[in-house]
Amino acid sequence: MKLIIILMIFFFVLPFSLAQLRFGFYSFTCPQVEEIVGEVVQSYYQRDITIAGALIRLHYHDCIVNGCDASILIDSRVNRTAEKDAKPNKTLRGFNLIDDIKSNLEQQCPQTVSCADILTIATRDAIALSNGPTYNVLTGRRDGLVSNGFNVTIPGPFSNVSQALNFFTSKGLTLEDMVTLMGAHTIGFAKCIFFQSRLSSFNGNIDPTMDPNLDAFLVEKCGSRGNETSVFLDQKTPFDFDNEFYNQIVNKRGILQIDQQLALDPISNVLVWNFASGNFNFWERFGVSWSKLANLDVKVGNQGEIRRNCRAFNFPLLF
C-alpha cells in the first residue's frame, strides 16, 4: 500500500516567492493539467520503464543549478551553450516527454502551464509509477530566462561526502536532504566509466570498500578498462522506488564511490542505516526533501515567463 504524504505548509512562515506557490494553482485556468501530465508520463513509462529515473535526474539537474525554472530544457544556440549541453548534463533524457506534455497543454490551455511545473508534476508521477511514494506538489512556478552551460557545477560520482555536503548546504539543503535525495539512485544506472577506477581489473586490487562478488560482476560487465555499458545502481530492485539502495550500500554493494561513502562516512552513516531499516522511513522523508528541492529559487508572479515551447525562450534575445 502506497504511503500518501501530504505536505502541509503554512504560508506565513515561508519566503515570499515560495508563499506564492500553492496546491491547485491551475484549478481554474487549466483544471486538466494533472490528468494530461499523468497520461503522457504513463504512456512513456509503459514503453520504457527507465524513463522514471531519467525524469528524476532531469528534474534534479534543473533545480540544483539555478533553481527549478526549466532552464535545463532550453536548447543551445550558435552563440551560447545552454545547461543541457554542459558536460554533467550530456546524458540527460526525458526532453521529448516534456515536449509532448507541453504540446498537449498548449492545445487545451495556451501559455498557461509553465515548463517548470510540468517537469515537477511529471517527476512526481513517474516516482509513483515506480511503486514509490505519492506526494502533493505546490505549483505556480514560472520559467527562467537564462540557461548558461558555464553555470553548471554539480558534484560528480568521485566526490566524497564532505564535498557533496558543502554543495548541498550551499543550496539551502541539509545533510538529511542530501542522503535522502541520493536514495533516488535506487532506480538509476551509471556507465562503467564512472566507477571503473574502483574495479580490480583497472587498478589490480579489489577496492576494500566493495563486496568482492560485486567487483567480479562489474569486471565481467565492464571489461578490463571500462566501456559504455550501463549498470543499475540498485542490483536487486532496479525498477522499484524503494529503500533497497541503502541496504546495498551498507553491505558494500554501492557502485558509485559517492554512494558507498554515504554508508561509510560517520557524517552520514546513521541516516543510511535508518533508511535501510525500513521503506517507510525513506518514503516519509523523501516527499519532504524532494519538495524542498523542487521549491529552490523558484520564479513566481511576474518573474520569468510561461514558455510556449519548453526548448526556447519566448523572446530569444533574452538568451
DSSP label at 307? -
Q: Which three cell numbers stand for residue 111?
A: 501559455
Which residue in 164, 144, 141, 143 sits closest to 154, CA to CA?
164
The response to whether 67 counts as a known ligand-binding position is: yes
Q: Are strands 230-232 and 189-191 parallel, antiparallel or unpaired?
A: antiparallel
- Helix, strand, or coil (residue 263): helix
The response to whether 113 counts as a known ligand-binding position is: no
Q: Are 96 and 48 in contact (CB under 8 A)?
A: no
The response to whether 179 counts as a known ligand-binding position is: no
Which residue in 176, 180, 155, 128 sits closest to 257, CA to CA?
155
The response to whether 265 counts as a known ligand-binding position is: no
The response to whether 237 counts as a known ligand-binding position is: yes
The response to whether 35 counts as a known ligand-binding position is: no
Q: Are 241 and 130 in contact (CB under 8 A)?
A: yes
Which of 57, 59, 61, 299 is the catalytic position?
Answer: 61
DSSP label at 194? G
The response to whether 59 counts as a known ligand-binding position is: no
Give catalytic status of residue 61 as yes or no. Answer: yes
Q: Are 139 and 71 in contact (CB under 8 A)?
A: no
The response to whether 100 counts as a known ligand-binding position is: no
> Residues annotated as binding site for Ca(2+)?
62, 65, 67, 69, 71, 83, 186, 234, 237, 242
Q: Which residues are annotated as a binding site?
A: 62, 65, 67, 69, 71, 83, 155, 185-186, 234, 237, 242
Residues within the annotated binding site for heme b?
185
Query: What residues are labeled active site?
Result: 61
Annotated binding site for substrate: 155
